[in-house]
A and B are shown apart, each in its own frame.
Chain A
Amino acid sequence: MAARKLSEIAKTIRSKNAGVDKYTFDVIFPDRASYELVRDSGVLSRDAVCRIFGIDAARITDHVAFDPALAIKFTIARLRPSGSPGDTDIFGAQQYGPLLDIEVPVS
């Protein structure tokens, strides 16, 4: 089965703080076809997100497909609040890196 990287399909892949205790991730697609392809493929499902980041499902506080924005959005509880000593991403802006290379089956 053929596959393409998520970074080649999505228009925007970003992360940012959602408050001081969470990171939120937005993956936004350029059209409905690519949005539905990725949404239905399961490569960004709750289970998949747990595998990608090596975390327990309990740390995913929200996971939604947001039709009006053609977006898949999920939120992860931080291990320590933003900006505490030892935190290296105060804005949470570089947590999305592992999403770029996700292989999406395109058959």
Chain B
Amino acid sequence: MPASIQHGRSANHTLRIVCPNGHLGFAPIKAGSFRIGCDSEPDLICADSGSCDVGPVPLGSDTSSSPLQWQTDDLETMLIASRRLGVPMIVGSAGDTGTNSRVDLFVRVIRELARKHKLAKFRIGYFYSEIGTDLLRRRIDRGDAVTGLDGRPPLDLATVEATERVVAVAGIHPYIKLLDEGADVIVGGRSSDCALFAAPAIRQGFPDALAYLYGKLLECASFCAEPYGAKESVLGEITMDDVKVTAMLPEQRCTVASVAGHAMYERSNPFYEHFLGGHIDMSRCRYEQYDERTVRVTGPSYVPASELRVKLEGSGKIGERYVGIVGVRDPYTIANIDLVTGWARQQVAERFGDSGYEVHFAVYGRDAILGASEPRKATPAHELAVVVQGVAPTTAMAEEVAMIATRQMFYARLPQVKGTAGGVAFVLDEVMPASPAYRWTLNHTMRVDDALELFPTFVTEAGV
């Protein structure tokens, strides 16, 4: 077997990237393997910070799901290493959602860190991804369809009205532009996970197909290694002929199974990866064990899009939200739990009517997680928990909806119940404020003339 790529380049023309975290800020970078990665001759340090997985609330309310302290710690770890090694650092989809406020937040944190550590002057490049709903209205008005993804209908004005905030998903283009402008540190708005890795590789002349594959394999850090262990660093190397990826934690290795397994992670289909400007077809990829802890992948093909279409993510507010929790132990009540929740729902309707709010009951111990798809719903557990969500236009009404729905389960009228002193057990005799309820209103694509038109870039200085 060849020598490990950890200890040196496998070809003359290569680009090596360390990825320390698949979702920067969401859980902390592990320092040990990152240190090894930094000692392994990286040309860049890159990490994505965004995900739709956190649900529609952060985008809608323009907040992060990651705590500021963890975001700061991860940025500090990367920034110190990047400046010490003199290699660029790229963070994509800042602050979980990649909205403008999250980009500004990351730029501010990086400036403060530069001051704190008295780092020599460097250039921060950043770009925005948010778009206004006015733009969407104009597109619809002139008949330029904003097309739905995953079975969604084309965007209509009612959905635009119901939308609070929209980000467009950038490709490689703003990253390349900022690298061209000499940025040492880049903070990206919303962008495809693979783009921040593919951009520097494409800029240096590596083939598009391999560059996007490179991004796809690296973007989740140690999720492409085994045994399972998140937030550990991985090192990737791209050449003109292949992509290699290796684990930095001594206890982990990249195997054909772990890397191929990762290639299909979180994607509906393992063969295609779409981004602004095209997609790659990975159906003919070959995965080989290169050295004991490194996998070599070859054979992707790049398919440019016939029309530039940018993906849009949008979130709209439904209302304020309160949550209540009750427990049930009586087997007769458990067998009739739908009558209990039905009674509670009816009490809410007597107070507020049939519409203008939402109330949801999730019956844990029976079918809360799978709902109608639960094959074992006929045999519930001996204890149940029912989690109630009340959603309404005002905080006061949401609280009352949740409170009626929760407390009235206590008073549910079941014909043969033995326990007449109370139908459920309260862990708290109260309902709790939760984040407002939002929903994903946009999962669409929109035509653009230029891959940069929605993503304004800026360069500023930091350090002393």
Compute how far the CA of A24 lies from the CA of B373 in the bound complex, rounded to whole angstroms: 15
Q: How far is the CA of A98 from the CA of B369 in the complex (A)?
A: 11
Contacts of B370 in A (CB 8 A): 53, 95, 97-98
Are B268 and A75 neighbours in the complex by a CB distance under 8 Å? yes
Q: Is the CB of A20 within 8 A of B440?
A: yes
Query: Do A79 and B371 have beta carbons less than 8 Å apart?
Result: yes
Smallest CB–CB gap between A65 and chain B, Å? 10
A66 touches B151 (CB 8 A): no
Residues of B within 8 A of A16 (CB): 53, 265-266
Min C-beta distance of B57 to chain A, whole Å: 6
Flag if B369 contacts A69 (CB, 8 Å). Answer: no
Nearest-neighbour CB distance to chain A for B398, whole angstroms, equals 10
Task: Contact check, B369 vs A24: say whether CB atoms are below 8 A apart.
Answer: no
Q: Known contacts A20-B440, A22-B268; is A28 also within 8 Å of B261 by CB?
A: yes
- Candidates A17, A69, A85; contact of B260 at CB < 8 Å: A69
Which chain B residue lies CB-closest to A68? B260
Chain B residues within an 8 Å CB radius of A94: 369
Q: Which residues from B are CB-within-8-Å of A75?
A: 268-269
Check B134 for interface membership: any CB of A closer than 8 A. Answer: no
CB under 8 Å from chain B, chain A span 18-32: 18-22, 24, 26, 28, 30
State whether the Cβ of B389 lies closer than 8 Å to any Cβ in chain A: yes
Q: Contacts A69-B260, A83-B438: A95 and B369 contacting too (C-beta < 8 A)?
A: yes
Question: What is the CA–CA distance of A17 and B268 in the complex, to the nearest angstrom?
Answer: 9
User: Do B271 and A64 have beta carbons less than 8 Å apart?
Assistant: yes
Chain A residues 21-68 with CB under 8 Å of chain B are 21-22, 24, 26, 28, 30, 52-55, 61-62, 64, 66, 68
B437 touches A85 (CB 8 A): yes
The interface residues of chain A lying within 8 Å CB-to-CB of B371 are 79, 88
- Contact in complex: A88, B362 (CB < 8 Å): yes
Known: A84-B439, A86-B360. A54 touches B375 (CB 8 A): yes
Question: Are B56 and A81 touching (Cβ within 8 A)?
Answer: yes
What CA separation (Å) do A52 and B267 show in the bound complex? 21
Closest residue on chain A to residue B362 by CB atoms: A88
Interface of B is mostly: mixed
Whole-angstrom distance between the Cβ of A61 and the nearest chain B Cβ: 6
Number of A-B contacts (CB under 8 A): 143
Q: Is the CB of B268 within 8 A of A62?
A: yes
Q: Which residues of A contact B349 (CB under 8 A)?
A: none
Chain B's nearest CB lies how many Å from the CB of A93?
Answer: 9
Nearest CB to that of A31 among chain B residues? B257
Bound form: Cα–Cα A88–B372 in Å: 12
Q: How far is the CA of A45 from the CA of B150 in the complex (A)?
A: 22
Q: How far is the CB of A57 from chain B (nearest CB, A)?
A: 14
Q: Given A20-B440, A21-B150, A61-B150: A86 and B268 within 8 A (CB)? A: no
- Bound: A54/B266 CA distance, A: 23
Could you say which residues of chain B place their CB within 8 Å of the CB of A62? 268-269
Complex Cα–Cα for A85 and B416 (A): 33
Contact B271 A91 (CB under 8 A): no
Given the contacts A19-B268, A88-B362, A90-B54, A69 and B149 also touching, CB distance less than 8 Å: no
A82 in contact with B373 (CB, 8 Å): no
Do residues B57 and A83 form an inter-chain contact, with CB atoms below 8 A? yes
Q: Chain A contacts of B152 at CB under 8 A?
A: 21
B369 x A68 contact (CB < 8 A): no
Contact flag A68-B256 (CB < 8 Å), given A18-B267, A82-B440, A83-B440? yes
Q: What is the chain B residue whose CB lies nearest that of A94?
A: B369
Q: Is A71 in contact with chain B by the CB < 8 A criterion?
A: yes
- Min CB gap A13→B, angstroms: 12
Q: B234 within 8 Å of A by Cβ?
A: no
Q: Is the CB of B270 within 8 A of A85?
A: no
Q: In the complex the two chains form, is A70's CB within 8 Å of B257's CB? A: yes
14 additional contacts (CB under 8 A) given A54-B375, A84-B440 = A12-B261, A19-B268, A24-B268, A69-B257, A75-B268, A80-B439, A81-B56, A83-B54, A84-B318, A85-B389, A86-B358, A88-B369, A95-B370, A98-B370
Closest 5 CB pairs of A and B: A83-B55, A69-B260, A86-B360, A75-B268, A68-B260
Task: Name 27 A/B residue pairs within 8 A (Cβ), A-sorted.
Answer: A18-B267, A20-B52, A20-B150, A21-B152, A52-B375, A53-B373, A54-B375, A68-B256, A68-B286, A69-B257, A69-B260, A69-B270, A73-B269, A75-B269, A81-B440, A82-B52, A82-B55, A82-B440, A83-B440, A85-B358, A85-B389, A85-B439, A86-B389, A95-B370, A95-B373, A97-B369, A98-B375
